[in-house]
Structure 1
Amino acid sequence: MPHDIIGWTHTIFAIIALITGSLILINPKGSLFHIRTGTIYVISMIIVCASAFLIYRVHKTFGILHFFAIISTATLIMGMTPMYIKNFKQPIVSHLSWMYWSVIGLYCAFAAELFTRLPIILNIKNNYGVFYLVVGLSTGIVGMTGSWFFKKKKSYWEVKFRKPQNKLNDN
């Protein structure tokens, strides 16, 4: 439960990112809706990642969830880079792939955050083994499910968004 303005900011923008990220996953790519919703997602995720590092500063501990904030930030940067630097072999597929994993990572973080509350609900005190087990299992299940969907989607994207080959003119 958030205890201060940083925690509330983190929570509110994480919810916005969950909603917009989900909308992007289920709707057609490349539309004006996709671009606008994606912009909200990216801004929300920047705030989520930044606030995660600020939470680290407040609590003076760097845990596994903060480590994943670094991965989340990198995934977001890698997802947006192909949209601005066109030197990629398949810029749209790269964008879709990295942004897909950004959303799946957010789902993993959400599952981990929910299930870290389980030891509190079950009144298990000071048991880091249960904490890491629950975080690992919830994140693993969500990540594996996301991986299954990703494999199906990536094959489709590679065909649909294939970058045209440059052909030399024989004249």
Structure 2
Amino acid sequence: MPQDIIGWFHTIAAIIALITGSLILSYAKGTETHKFIGRVYGVSMLVVCATSFMIYRVHNTFGVLHVFAIISTITLLLEMLPLYSRLYKKPVLTHLAWMYWSVIGLYCAFAAEVFTRLPTILEIKNSYGIFYALVGISAGIVGFVGSYFFKKRKRIWEQRFG
């Protein structure tokens, strides 16, 4: 559970992002509903990313989870750039791809967050190695499954928007 106000903002924003990100992936693209939910997702992810840099649970230092927060922030920016720039030949496809990976990255972070609670629940001492193994394994599995579905969806998007 979050230990302070920053942790609560981070958690609530992450839950909102998980819900809106899932809706974005499942709803029709380009509608007013899509745009509204996408904006909510974007703002909630900005809060998640910003607050992630204020959380120092492990070793009280900048760590691997902060590196993932940087990647998430970059992905979030790259998903919006094609919609506001004329530099892209296929801006909708580029937006869809980056948006998809932004949400999959959020799913990976959620899985890692859930599974890294196991050492505490099981009362395992000196669990930093287990912590990072669980982060890698859980995020890897979710990322692998996400890449499978991405490949399937990409073909559909290329036919529709390409």
Alignment of 1:29-108 (within 5 A): 29-56=29-56, 60-108=60-108
Give the corresponding residue for 1:143.
Answer: 143
Could you say which structure has the larger radius of gyration?
1
Q: Percent identity?
A: 65
Contact 1:56–1:66 (CA<8 Å) still a contact in 2?
no
CA contact (8 A) 1:82 1:94 kept: yes
- Please, which moves more after superposition, 5-14 or 152-161? 152-161
Structure 2 CA distance, aligned partners of 1:88 and 1:11?
34
Look up the match of 1:122. 122
Q: Tell me what 2:109 maps to.
A: 109
1:4 & 1:94 partners in 2: Cα distance? 37
Q: Aligned partners of 1:7, 1:130: CA distance in 2, in Å?
A: 23
Distance 2:135 2:50 in 1: 22
Give the structure-1-normalised TM-score.
Answer: 0.91
* Per-residue deviation, 1:56: 4.1
Q: Deviations over 1:60-108 (max 9, x none)?
A: 4112111100000000000000010022021000000001000000000
The alignment partner of 1:21 has SS state of helix
Q: Deviations over 1:123-152 (max 9, x none)?
A: 111122211111111001100000000001
CA distance in 1 between partners of 2:9 and 2:103 (Å)? 19
Letter in 2 for 1:129: G
Where do 5+ consecutive residues of structure 2 fail to align?
A: none
Aligned length: 161
Q: Partners of 1:73 and 1:87 in 2: how far apart?
A: 20
Deviation at 1:53, TM superposition (A): 0.9
Q: Using the alignment, how far apart are the partners of 2:130 and 2:3 within structure 1?
A: 24
Change (3 A) 1:155 1:74: same
Amino acid at match of 1:20: T
User: Structure 2 CA distance, aligned partners of 1:134 and 1:3?
Assistant: 22
| TM-score normalised according to structure 2 size | 0.96
Letter in 1 for 2:48: V
